[in-house]
Structure 1
């Protein structure tokens, strides 16, 4: 069984994003970038399935600029077998990403896609669902536990009322939640080995997919600062402020 793991290059989660002076986006020049944390969890889960003998190959795929190669090497240092970079200079929206991933997945004849539930740069939480629809594959989102048995994949996911268990036929798309696992650190020997693993670069335009943006960004601004709270002396005062100031009752 071949597993595809899409990974995205994002601003490192320890770095506070800064809005560009012209308000056209977020500043990325000179900013530390790394693999999206949810995608790192997906890589770890795919590698664990391979270590159990339930997968024959793990292929990581990224859609972005040439600078995305280090995150692919990092994923291979974690245990992925090879990588594919679908190179594009401009940011690609979830619909376009899903279309490009579909082309790669069909080319690779993959049986399972494990990916992060969302990227921490835009928090769209849409690519996995769109990809499943594009492929017409069953999907399980926000997975907190994954197991393969009898040619099917069993997924536990947290919902408002507790835990939901799904059993899907393969091929399928699974998106990873934070509780799925704890990603391993890449050791120095594995980092050196990853430099020799194959990394294929494909120009996005060569895939014959329409990934043109559908959204226009008008302006990007910093979120407003939260005002300090106040202490009230009685329930009556609280209700009065909720009615006259907050206007929620």
Structure 2
């Protein structure tokens, strides 16, 4: 690991000021960034920790939404339980050490193509709140490791509408505990949303064909005749593009059955 300066601000304003420095990088739970730095694959002059900012930690209900501070850990989300599909998802991220250090804001800012939270945010129609603005999930995810965040912009909170029914199905890649494929299904009065992570070379995406079918018939049988094109799927030593495409349909059916 290269030498770096470490800053631990106490407020969002102080963090924004620290991140304005050249070569400064925000540090959430550090579950991705620190291993990258240890391998000397990244070099930052300054790390700005967001973990000590109390206004970014905690869970509350407001206006019918579940509002989660950006520095809230996976373990805290898992223990909350007021949005069962989301809590179940958080409980299966990594291992206990990861869940007690990793944060929801850090995960969404990194937008790993196999991370779990992006599927929950997209399927829920969540709003990502930063120190500058509010971004709808449909506008936030821009591709593999890419988001709408600008340099130095901090995720301070994530606001989740709570659906009538939801479920997350995850086919785990055993070595990393990331999702080889993950599918989050959320049923709202206005309609069903289905988001897929781990499968596409473009990152998390909504499976709109399944949404249309499930809006007509919210049952696993509604997606049995559907298929996902394998052309845009990830292919690696863990699974072919065709395998991932097949898993999407299987896991969507399981998620619908579990939610119903």
With structure 1 as the length reference, what TM-score do the two structures score?
Answer: 0.27
With structure 2 as the length reference, what TM-score do the two structures score?
Answer: 0.26
Which of these two proteins has the greater Rg computed from alpha carbons?
Answer: 1
